Structure 1
């Protein structure tokens, strides 16, 4: 792993575990186990760290969007089936960017919006109906939200995010896409 990637990992980790306010340059350098000068060699400022993180997020999301488009089950099934908090690089980058967005970072908000728009477009192309596409996106988003907050939600019926739960939701997606196809 390059020093640059190590610094980005540290920045991302701090965002995920401590929040945006904890991401001082000193804290990032300490977490990455590099000198502050080493950090500044790769990222001249906190804004440069944000840009690096958002570039990483964009690359991960582009790969995910390609996988979504290529999935033989269709984009809708892919979206709902992968709407889990799994600690993957994409998941961590999304959570980190969401932390920045919550602190009113317009670039992070814009990046997340563009990624979501791309996923929505693929689903809309598949189903051909905006309301159905929106329902599918909200189904996936709700699944992800509940997966992220599972420890804080008391009802296992609502927060269930295991494979069987996703299989049930995929049946709903199939009904929605069939209904949209019938027009």
Structure 2
């Protein structure tokens, strides 16, 4: 039941943003009683935090373990966030975007969870065996790119998408 509730909340975040997350609406979409939802998530904030935590777990499962070859973490960051071909963020199932929406809509406590994850991830990026400046530039470029994709703020399209991604992949491979 918990996963069904989180699935419904995720879909609602993507389709309607933070305003779509109302406990009664999520319960209806998940086809559970409001009491069943409240058994797992005592508040909207707890629900949004649950969405974020599950997405972070999924994202981290795609990342290589410590001690992987140089550049592996930075390349995985790119691969998990930006598809090789230009497809819409919705088609890509952009989990990072959902996590961002969840963090922004959950208040300072939920945003604090994401900030803690980013601190840990940045340490991994900086210690990835690449020049830390290059690795950090790749992370920041990827983060900006998925933000542009999420908000449709003129993200690179078509061949430019492919070329920019290839350049970032080359940067992530430098020194590997």
TM-score by length of 2: 0.74
> Are 1:57 and 2:59 counterparts?
no
SS of aligned partner of 1:145: helix
1:72-151 equivalences in 2 (<5 Å) = 74-84=72-82, 85=89, 86-87=92-93, 91-92=94-95, 94-103=96-105, 105-127=107-129, 129-149=131-151
How much has 1:28 moved relative to structure 2?
0.4
Query: Which has the greater radius of gyration?
Result: 1
Distance in 2 between residues matched to 1:128 and 1:153, nearest whole Å: 30
Q: Are 2:64 and 2:72, in contact at CA under 8 Å, matched by a contact in 1?
A: no
Residues paired across the two proteins, number: 168
Instruction: Give the 3 Å change call, closer, same or farther, for CA 153–121 of structure 1 in structure 2.
Output: same
Structural RMSD (CA): 3.1
Q: 1:34-64 CA deviation, whole Å, 9 max, x = no partner?
A: 2222222332322331332233133223323
> In 2, distance between residues paired with 1:102 and 1:47?
11
Cα distance in 2 for residues equivalent to 1:44 and 1:145: 30
Q: What 5-or-longer segments of structure 2 have no aligned partner?
A: 83-88
Check the 8 A contact 1:146/1:160 in 2, yes or no: no
Where is the helix percentage greater, Structure 1 or Structure 2? 1
Per chain length, whose mean CA-contact separation is higher, i.e. which structure has more relative contact order (CA < 8 Å, sep 6+)?
Answer: 2
Q: Distance in 2 between matches of 1:147 and 1:172?
A: 21
2:44 and 2:29 mapped to 1: Cα distance?
Answer: 15
